Amino acid sequence: MKAIYIHIPFCDHICTYCDFYKMVAKEELKVNYIDYLIKELAMKKEYLADIETIYIGGGTPSSLSLALLEKLFQALVSVISMDDVQEFTFEVNPNDVTFELAILLKQYHINRISLGVQSLNKRKLKMLGRSHDKKSIHQAIQILRTTGLTNINADLIYGIGKERFCVIKKDIRKLMRDKVTHLSTYSLIIEEKTIIGRQLALGKFKPMDEDKEANIYRKLCHYLTKNHFVHYEISNFCHSGYQSKHNLVYWDNLNYIGVGAGASFYIDNIRYTNVMNLQEYFDGIDKQELTYLETTKLTDDERMAEEMILGLRKLEGVKKDTFHTKFGVDIYQQYPFLSDLITRNLLIDDNVFIKVPSDKLYLINEVLVNFI
Ligand code: SF4
């Protein structure tokens, strides 16, 4: 087990598009949660011997007090050998960044920050229900960089209403000037139970047309690669050498552990999701028997399909030899339709990898649907 994900389901306020497991909570509940999280870590100690990447996400981990964060970090360093950890990511809301927080993160070996930027555009930030502005984003990056936290990802969302590529381009230019090393760019997905989802149902929100969205995506890829960002996963771009090691564990379809309410993990062909209810989560830990929202044992066919669906998200694609070693079957024997997709230029076989051509990534769903 090389990777661990830790879920902090607390936010200071709720964004209009958010479908993650999160809540606004009082300090007492947060204190309780961290105690239980530490107990869950102890229950999973057997999996923590070889951890190389840690990712603390949410929710908003930076919404925890410094004292609670320190308690969590102390527990982590007591069960994980930090000498072996290559990448330790912490998700941060720009408004929460202070020198005190940055120093604490540095002290406990965090070496990668994922900043929930989404946009620097005032109107867009308001539509998304974000509480920060472009000034606080700039200040947050300056504080992090001054403290030595220079490996910074910025999350960006595009595809909102009638927005044009020039809005996103302006944001990216500012973030490049601030020297972020990684950009995760996602089109707005409207989920039913979100504020935007309800506005959509009432006819108060108009989603972006799919063709327009694909057009923005193509321009985004072109602009970032022209500006020396490595496009390594369908939605992710970075400076050379700054690929997210933790997220590559997911896309390489490898095992990983997860702790916290709502956290997912993958062990020995079983996908688990911890229960998304704090009282049930606490009760399970008290009984030393975790409560799951779901557990799914994957069949061989499902494992192979996941290998393809996740692997083809990467620009390098799926390595044919790795597929054969993992599943004991030739990739073409398992998926004879690959030849047809190659003939239609939706896939390339470069002898080592099967991949989606970079100029056809916007059509990836046409490829992935074949594995479902
Ligand atoms: S998008 Fe992030 S900050 Fe906003 S509500 Fe969701 S988890 Fe919280």
Report CA(302)–ligand 1 centroid distance (Å).
Answer: 31
Q: What is the pLDDT of residues 69-94, one digit of tens each?
A: 999 999 999 999 999 999 999 999 99
Q: Identify whether 267 is part of a domain.
A: no
Element (H, E) at 3: strand 3-8
Q: Is the pLDDT of residue 359 over 90?
A: yes
Q: What is the pLDDT of residues 297-350, one digit of tens each?
A: 999 999 999 999 999 999 999 999 999 999 999 999 999 999 999 999 999 999
| Euclidean distance between CA atoms 273 and 294, whole angstroms | 5
Report CA(356)–ligand 1 centroid distance (Å).
Answer: 31
Q: Is the pLDDT of residue 57 over 90?
A: yes
Q: Is the pLDDT of residue 161 over 90?
A: no
Q: Identify whether 270 is part of a domain.
A: no
Q: What is the pLDDT of residues 211-255, one digit of tens each?
A: 999 999 999 999 999 999 999 999 999 999 999 999 999 999 999
Could you give the residue ranges of the DSSP H alpha helices within the chain? 27-43, 66-79, 99-107, 122-128, 134-146, 165-177, 195-201, 210-226, 245-251, 278-286, 300-311, 320-327, 331-334, 338-343, 364-368
Can you give the pLDDT at residue 360?
Answer: 95
Can you give the pLDDT at residue 157?
Answer: 97
Can you give the pLDDT at residue 198?
Answer: 95
Report CA(363)–ligand 1 centroid distance (Å).
Answer: 29
Q: Give the CA angle between residues 264, 270, 274 to the nearest 5°.
A: 30
Q: Are residues 187 and 312 in the same domain?
A: no
What share of the chain in percent tops pLDDT 70? 100
Q: Are residues 82 and 149 in the same domain?
A: yes
Contact 115, 179 (CB under 8 A): no
Mean pLDDT over 93-116 rounds to 98
Per the structure, the count of domains in the chain is: 2
Q: Identify whether 9 is part of a domain.
A: yes
Residues lining ligand 1, Cβ inside 6 A: 11, 14-15, 18, 20, 22, 58-60, 93, 116
Q: What is the pLDDT of residues 24-45, one digit of tens each?
A: 999 999 999 999 999 999 999 9
* Structural domain boundaries enclosing 63: 3-251
Which residue's alpha carbon is nearest to atom 6 within ligand 1? 18
Which residue's alpha carbon is nearest to atom 7 within ligand 1? 59
Last residue of a domain, one of 192, 227, 251: 251
Atom of ligand 1 nearest to the CA of 130: 4
Q: Are residues 72 and 158 in the same domain?
A: yes
Mean pLDDT over 107-134 rounds to 96
| Euclidean distance between CA atoms 221 and 363, whole angstroms | 14
Which residue's alpha carbon is nearest to atom 1 within ligand 1? 18
Q: Are residues 23 and 100 in the same domain?
A: yes
Q: Are residues 310 and 183 in the same domain?
A: no
Q: Are residues 304 and 162 in the same domain?
A: no
Last residue of a domain, one of 251, 266, 290: 251
Which residue's alpha carbon is nearest to atom 5 within ligand 1? 14
Q: Identify whether 7 is part of a domain.
A: yes
Mean pLDDT over 194-206 rounds to 94
Report CA(326)–ligand 1 centroid distance (Å).
Answer: 36
Can you give the pLDDT at residue 59?
Answer: 96
Mean pLDDT over 141-156 rounds to 98
What is the overall mean pLDDT for the chain? 97
CATH number of the domain to which 63 belongs = 3.20.20.70
Q: What is the pLDDT of residues 309-323, one digit of tens each?
A: 999 999 999 999 999
- The DSSP 8-state label assigned to residue 255 in this structure reads -
Report CA(50)–ligand 1 centroid distance (Å).
Answer: 31
Last residue of a domain, one of 251, 285, 319: 251
DSSP characters for 142-201? HHHHHTT---EEEEEEE--TT--HHHHHHHHHHHHHTT-SEEEEEEPP--TTSHHHHHHH
Can you give the pLDDT at residue 156?
Answer: 98
Can you give the pLDDT at residue 117?
Answer: 98
Q: Are residues 219 and 335 in the same domain?
A: no
Q: Is the pLDDT of residue 162 over 90?
A: no
- Going through 257-302 in order, the beta strands assigned E by DSSP cover 257-259, 264-267, 270-274, 292-297
CATH number of the domain to which 332 belongs = 1.10.10
